[in-house]
Amino acid sequence: MANDIALAVRDIRKKFGPLEVLKGISLEARRGDVISLIGQSGSGKSTLLRCINYLETPDSGEIIVGDEVIRARPVRGRMSRADRRQLELVRRRLGMVFQNFNLWAHMTVLENIIEGPRHLLGLTRDQAVAEAEQLLEKVGIREKRDSYPSRLSGGQQQRVAIARALAMNPEVMLFDEPTSALDPELVQEVLQVIKGLAAEGRTMILVTHEMALARDISSEVVFLHQGLVEERGAPAEMMSNPKSDRLRQFLRMVA
Amino acid sequence: MDSKWELLGWGDAGWGDQLLHGFMMTIVVSLIAYAMSLTIGLLAALSKLSARRMLRGIANTYTTIVRSLPELLVILIVYFSLVGGAEKLLKSLGLVSDRFEFSGFWAAVVALAFVNGAFMTEVMRAGILAVPKGQTEAAEAIGMPRALLFRRIVLPQMLRHSVPGLGNLWLAITKESAVVAVLGTFNELLFTAYRAAGVTKEYGLFYSVVAAAFLLISLVSMAIIHRIEKRVGRGF
């Protein structure tokens, strides 16, 4: 059932200068799957996630969203007009949540959320605002709609960032260490939102250091080591019974 | 004492109407030249940051040359060669009649804009570079096309960094419009006062009036710039 696949990553390789960060990685997420990428810093997990929506351009390999293959092959930062257009359209189907939130600082919470729907999806302001308010309700932060991001705590900013990504109705959500920049007491409020999305059956790829979260919500956990998949499998099995020494070591370190 | 104040009056005896005209000329020339240099600066800044080597080369050559030469020299070159060349070009293309000539006014405006555009380029380039990468990545990630991304995300945030520099350039341009007066092609404020002082020998009076007028322009400008700074600083 090919059209059951929401996202496929095929043999992605990426070098930064002489350093080979990704040495050929493949993933496949069916609709409703939650794949957690774990591993030490430097293992390539964030780079892999950024390759999925081409914030980093892979040196080789394919990204397939639904049944559409990203065509872009930029040469020294430049790509053809048609390829750029295709990439823009594919990116609208992938929601990205960053470690540092990256809310637009010159816009209020509400403006951040309606920006994409208004200018990219063609919604009227009223439609976009109505949807934004539902999303703010969902992430539990409606009273902050007219605040600027700089007035919000990290946890609140990250919840707004999740709402902003959801406003585009993405088919797949990408999370890049969504709680790593948060003070410990603010982690839970963001984790609750992410768990809620998983429970709704959202397709998600998640880079995380939160082992409990990975264990609770993932359909598959992928352990990366030095740019390769060292071990992958069902979360409970992998975490209670790791096969490789490296995963065993890693789990001991983060436990 | 009375006779001195009469010198600033209207009509044949006084210089007041000429001075006011000069004052307006200074403001109008500055405004138009400023708007043009903003445009030049933005285009050159984007060229400098472009992936295209040729655009970068052109913009670098422009800013390097203009910023290394004395302002007056650039103004003379622009006025006497570039403007003349542009006239010939327009004539040979048949776009204008044979007797066409840029007015001294427009020549001065173009010269001022050409010089200030180079400084504007650097202010804007620095402003664009100061926008954090995460801000543009968040827009790329939702599939925002580049032109929209620039208009909605980069430009507003760049302004926050650039307004002080852009404000300085505005103040500079109001004063440089006095330098352009050496071309003797139109009567801005300082040049008018210079003539008035020469005729009446009341140097102190006329130069004080001009000084006060420039001070007034600066004070009003600074108040406006301050408001703009507050406006673009919202949210930070």
Burial class of residue A99, CB neighbours in 10 A (0-12, 13-18, 19+): middle
Task: Please state, in angstroms and as integers, the Cα–Cα distance from residue B123 to each residue in A114, B70, B117, B127, B161, following that order.
Answer: 31, 19, 10, 6, 9
Q: pLDDT higher for B16 or B142?
A: B142
Which of A54, A84, A104, A145 is the mutation pick for testing B, counting most B CBs within 10 A?
Answer: A104
Bridge partners of A205?
A35, A174
Nearest CA in chain B to A89: B143
Taking only the tens place, the pLDDT of each residue in B126-164 is 999 999 999 999 999 999 999 999 999 999 999 999 999
**What pLDDT is attached to residue B95?**
79
Q: CA triplet A86, A89, A94: central angle to 5 degrees?
A: 125
Collect all residues of chain A within an 8 Å Cβ-Cβ radius of residue B147.
none
Count A/B contacts: CB-CB distance under 8 Å. 80
Collect all residues of chain A within an 8 Å Cβ-Cβ radius of residue B145.
84-85, 88
B17 CA: distance to closest CA in chain A (Å)? 46
**What pLDDT is attached to residue B184?**
67
Find tokens 């500079």 and name the residue.
Answer: B172
Nearest CA in chain B to A93: B142
> Cα(B185)–Cα(B170) distance, rounded to whole angstroms?
22
Structure letter (DSSP) for residue A151 = G
> Cα(B45)–Cα(A34) distance, rounded to whole angstroms?
44
Which of B52, B140, B142, B146 is the mutation pick for testing A, counting most A CBs within 10 A?
Answer: B142
Q: Which of B126, B117, B127, B151 is nearest to B41 (CA)?
A: B117
Bridge partners of A27?
A9
Q: pLDDT higher for B199 or A180?
A: A180
What is the SS3 string spanning B198-212?
Answer: HHHCCHHHHHHHHHH
| Amino acid type, A95 | G
Nearest CA in chain A to B153: A104
| 3-class DSSP state of A212 | helix
Burial class of residue A21, CB neighbours in 10 A (0-12, 13-18, 19+): buried
Averaged over B86-92, what is the pLDDT?
A: 82
Q: Is A100 on the interface with B (CB under 8 A)?
A: yes
Q: Which of A85, A61, A84 is nearest to A8 (CA)?
A: A61
| B108: pLDDT strictly greater than 90 | no
| B185: pLDDT strictly greater than 70 | no
Task: Please state, in angstroms and as integers, the Cα–Cα distance from residue A203 to each residue in A5, A102, A151, A176, A195, following that order.
Answer: 10, 22, 31, 15, 12
B144 with A94: Cβ contact below 8 A = no
Lowest mean pLDDT among A76-80, A229-233, B63-67, B119-123: A76-80
Cα dihedral sign, B92-B94-B100-B104 = negative
Q: How confident is the model at residue B2 (pLDDT cuts 50, 70, 90)?
A: low
| Contact yes or no for B33/B78 (Cβ under 8 A) | no
> Cα(B211)–Cα(B208) distance, rounded to whole angstroms?
5
In this prediction the ipTM stands at 0.93
> Cα(B43)–Cα(B52) distance, rounded to whole angstroms?
13
Nearest CA in chain B to A51: B141
A119 CA: distance to closest CA in chain B (Å)? 8
Cα dihedral sign, A175-A139-A146-A119 = positive
| Amino acid type, A41 | S
Phi then psi dihedrals of residue B140, to 5 deg: -60, -40
Q: Which of A218, A219, A214, A207 is nearest to A181 (CA)?
A: A207
Q: Which of A55, A92, A98, A89 is nearest to A74 (CA)?
A: A55
A55 with B139: Cβ contact below 8 A = no
Q: Which helix (H) or strand (E) holds B162?
A: helix B155-179
Q: Is A92 on the interface with B (CB under 8 A)?
A: yes
| B6: pLDDT strictly greater than 80 | no
Collect all residues of chain A within an 8 Å Cβ-Cβ radius of residue B134.
98, 100, 102
Kindly give the confidence (pLDDT) of every residue in chain A, 255 residues in length, as a single tens digit, with 9 standing for 90 and above: 446 899 999 999 999 999 999 999 999 999 999 999 999 988 999 999 999 999 999 999 999 999 899 998 888 778 899 999 999 999 999 999 999 999 999 999 999 999 999 999 999 999 999 999 999 999 999 999 999 999 999 999 999 999 999 999 999 999 999 999 999 999 999 999 999 999 999 999 999 999 999 999 999 999 999 999 999 999 999 999 999 999 999 999 887
A142 CA: distance to closest CA in chain B (Å)? 18
